[in-house]
Amino acid sequence: MSVRIFYDGVKERISKPAGIKELVKEVVRDEYRTPGDLDFILTTDEELLKINREFLKHDYLTDVIAFNYSWAKVVEGEIYISYETVRKNSSKYGVTVKEELVRVMIHGVLHLCGYDDSNEELREVMRKKEDVWIEKYFGGRWNSGTI
């Protein structure tokens, strides 16, 4: 079991990522599942658009795409995140880049745990769960370092 963070065309780095990795594991455990191998790939808008076109046949930009490799109760997968979109959205929503990045990471993990956001009601369920974890994280339990 490992949580890894990779960077593809992104200069910025998460300093002291251990707190975020522990948070991700806790999100999985809270869903009564076991964390497996989870890879986060921070990339560019251009690369995420290519992935969205190739694998999902969507011709638009998004902030996160999750590929689910889970089996039984073990949560595994790859979560691709557009760091550029995260940065833009942090300004749009009036939050720090780190807060938006953590939210998107949690969002991707929730998808791997079986959550869907295909309509407003389901999006609200996910948003509430994200809010709980954001509050816990930035409340000091796991928060270490900045982006």
CATH code of the domain in which 42 resides = 3.40.390.30
Q: What is the mean pLDDT of the chain?
A: 94
Q: How many domains does one find in the chain?
A: 1
Question: Of 110, 105, 138, 136, nearest to 123 (Cα)?
Answer: 110
What confidence score (pLDDT) does residue 143 get? 55
pLDDT category of residue 14 using cuts at 50, 70 and 90: very high
**8, pLDDT greater than 60:** yes
Residue pair 81/42 in contact (Cβ under 8 Å)? The answer is yes
pLDDT of residue 141: 56
pLDDT for position 139: 87
- H helical segments located in 1-147: 18-30, 45-56, 83-93, 97-112, 120-136
Categorize the per-residue pLDDT at 63 as very low, low, confident or very high, splitting at 50, 70 and 90: very high
Indicate whether 110 belongs to any domain: yes
**pTM for this prediction:** 0.93
pLDDT given for residue 128 in this prediction: 97
Per the structure, the complete domain to which residue 43 belongs is given by 2-81+90-141
Average pLDDT over residues 30-40: 98
The verdict on residue 146 lying in a domain is no
Over pLDDT 90: what percentage of the chain? Answer: 92
